[in-house]
Structures are given as structure tokens and as C-alpha cells.
Chain A
Amino acid sequence: MSDRESIIVTVQRGGPATPQYPQEFEVPAFESQTVLDVVSWIQQNVDPTLTYRFACRVGMCGSCAMMVNGVPRWTCRTHVNKVLKGGKIEVGPLRNLPVIKDLAADMDPFFDKWVAAEGRHHPTLSRDDAIAEIDPEQAQRKEASLGIECINCSICYSACDTVAGDSDYLGPAALQRAWTLYNDGKDADKDAILDAVSGKGGCHSCHSMGSCTAYCPNGLDPLSAIAGLKRATTQRFFRGRAK
């Protein structure tokens, strides 16, 4: 059992329609309690109007990310005991995104940038062709595989100070997706990807501060993926476009 009977949780309330303000709640303390459990307890027992988002509760869907003590985290996999400071925690909506209400951030800019970064598949074959064999040990495939466990939680996007300073910047997740496709042997339009990440707010805006890699809950490395895109665009500049 926890040695505390309760914890004090400060939740950022409000949104565009109402002014934002912090509200304190006293929540019973349990052992093995996650931040998402605490938020759910408030919503179910104290204030049913508290707005937040979650789905899987096991770190797969990427929908429950919030700011916890000023740091972006996946709340379903964040134990209260690890983030408790003097019996208190602060929970807020994700940084760098518009707030819909309370703890629910508007993810539209985040996903729009996935599209802007050309984060879509460009097929090499049609459905009538035989499936092309890809060697999983191939260096390029291994590079692509490093980024495919992204759960679109937007924690890297919230952690990124370049996004905070430049709202056009595509952000770590979208650029990592572009790098994954660039290295995918089944993607037919590498030039379209490099064009998409070379424009306004593209990979060259990154200052390599590395918050994306530091905060990624899945241990991915968008910082290196963005460095890869910078290398690829520079190489194309000197060598010319692929024929």
C-alpha cells in the first residue's frame, strides 16, 4: 500500500471558450496508480465535465498524452509514484497544440503536418504484381524499421522547442515518418519526400536539441531520423536528383 492516503492533483481547466485556470483535486492514493487513473478518478467521482482523451490504457494508441509537471508524458504508462513531488502533481493539455477543452488538445496541426511531410506511401507495384521480397537485414530496411513503432502520441511534438518557436515546423514525428518512407524499399517517390521536407518548416529548421528523442515514450530517435533527412537532401544537392 502507498504510505499516503491522498494526493493533490492540479488540473488545467478551460479552453478557447472559457479562460484557462488551474483547479485542485484531492484524489485517494493507491499503489500502482497511473496519472491516467488519477484523471479518470476525478472525472468519474468529482467532476464529470472534466474533458480528456484516452483509449487503450496500455501504451499502444497514443491518445492519452498530457503535460505532467510541465513535461509531456503518456499518462497511461506513467506511475504517479515516479512523478509525485511533495504529494502533488500538475496535469495539463499537451504543449504546442491548440486546446479543445481541459486536457484534450486539438491534434489536427500534428496530423496535417504528417500529410505535409509526404508521410504517405508511394507504391512501386500494383495489386496485380507479385509481392516484392524485402530482406529484413538490409541496411536501409533496418533504418526504416527504427521508426515504425511510432504511436502518433505527439509527445515529441510537444517537447520540441523548435515547434514552440516556429509554428510552420513540421515536427519530429512527421519528419521521422518521412525518413522511414524514404528508407522503405517499397516506396517509389523518394524525391517527393525530400521535396516535402525541404520547404518552409522542413527538416532544415531543426536545431538538433534532441527533446524529441529524450521524451519519446517508445524510445525512438526522431533526432537521428531528421539528421538522416538533412544528409539525404544535402547529398541530393551535390549529386543531383535520381533519374
Chain B
Amino acid sequence: MTPFHLYMAQRLSALVMAPFVLVHLGVMIYAIQGGLTAAEILGRTQGSVFWFLFYGMFVVAVALHAALGLRVVLAEWAGLRGRTLTFTAWIIGLGLLGLGANAVWAVTAGGMS
């Protein structure tokens, strides 16, 4: 990966995230209007392939975007370079991906088992 490819990956992941953020916020505001309980929301999301793909892709984009953004911050503000920088960025990315994937699995696939 060249610096240019990292730049493109961060911009493209931002492009992917933008509609996800808007839909996520819109659905959240809409869903609580009628006073839905957590159990009722989970009843709708669990077992849904649509919400699994929606939040699954969202989490992948977030992990990529945040790890690449923090990579630059760590390079410029903390002076990390070379392998240390690459390793730290991977840890951040994989950590976010793990946390996010865990949540997506619980909210969308929990009902499938």
C-alpha cells in the first residue's frame, strides 16, 4: 500500500459511510417516535439480512476510516514511524472491527440461532 492508496481508502470509506450515517440517524429518530422498546427493536433487526449487511458494511468502513485517520495523527503528533506505525494502525483497525462486528452480530444475527 502506497501513501496514495491509504489516502484513497480513507476517502472512499468516508464516501461509503456518509449515507450509512444519515440512514442510521434517520431510522433511530423514526424508530423511537412510537416509543419502541429495545426488545421490539431487536425483534425487527434480529434475523434481518438487510440490517446485517447495512451495519456490517458500516462497521468495516468505520474500522478502515478511523484506523487510517488515527494513523496520520499518531505519525504527526506522536512521531510513530515505520513498522510501529503500521502495527499500531492495524491494532486500532482490527480492534474497532472486532468490537463493531460483535455488536452487529448481537443485534442482527442473535435471533437466527
Chain A: residues with CB nearer than 8 A to chain B?
Answer: 162, 165-166, 198-202, 204-205, 233-234, 237
Closest residue of A by beta carbon distance from B11: A234
Q: How far does the alpha carbon of A205 sit from the alpha carbon of B11 in the complex, in Å? A: 13
A199 touching B75 by the CB < 8 A rule?
Answer: no
Is chain B's binding surface mostly helix, strand, loop or mixed? helix
B62 CB to nearest A CB, Å: 21
A199 touching B76 by the CB < 8 A rule?
Answer: no
Q: How far does the alpha carbon of A162 sit from the alpha carbon of B72 in the complex, in Å? A: 11
Q: How far does the alpha carbon of A237 sit from the alpha carbon of B29 in the complex, in Å? A: 38
Residue from the set B7, B8, B75, B77 with the largest chain A CB neighbour count within 10 Å:
B7
Q: How far does the alpha carbon of A205 sit from the alpha carbon of B8 in the complex, in Å? A: 12
B33 on the interface (CB 8 Å rule)? no
How many residue-residue contacts, CB under 8 A, span A and B? 27
B3 on the interface (CB 8 Å rule)? yes
Say which residue of B4, B8, B11, B72 sits within 8 Å of A202 (CB atoms): B4
Q: How far does the alpha carbon of A162 sit from the alpha carbon of B3 in the complex, in Å? A: 15
Closest 10 A/B residue pairs (Cβ):
A165-B76, A204-B7, A198-B4, A166-B76, A200-B3, A204-B4, A204-B3, A237-B8, A202-B3, A233-B4
A205 touching B3 by the CB < 8 A rule?
Answer: yes
Scan residues 1-20 of chain B and give those whose CB is less than 8 A from a CB of chain A: 2-4, 6-8, 11
17 residue pairs of the A-B complex, CB under 8 angstroms, read A162-B76, A165-B75, A165-B77, A166-B76, A198-B2, A198-B3, A199-B3, A199-B4, A200-B3, A201-B3, A202-B4, A204-B3, A204-B4, A205-B3, A205-B72, A237-B4, A237-B8
Residue numbers in A under 8 Å from B77 (CB-CB): 165
Closest residue of A by beta carbon distance from B73: A165
With A162-B76, A165-B77, A166-B76 known as contacts, the answer to whether A199 contacts B8 (CB < 8 A) is no
Known A165-B75, A165-B77; 6 more pairs at CB < 8 Å: A166-B75, A198-B3, A199-B3, A205-B72, A233-B4, A234-B8
Residue numbers in B under 8 Å from A162 (CB-CB): 76
Scan residues 59-88 of chain B and give those whose CB is less than 8 A from a CB of chain A: 72, 75-77
Closest residue of B by beta carbon distance from A197: B4
Residue numbers in A under 8 Å from B3 (CB-CB): 198-202, 204-205
Residue numbers in B under 8 Å from A205 (CB-CB): 3, 72
Residue numbers in A under 8 Å from B4 (CB-CB): 198-199, 202, 204, 233, 237
Residue numbers in B under 8 Å from A234 (CB-CB): 8, 11
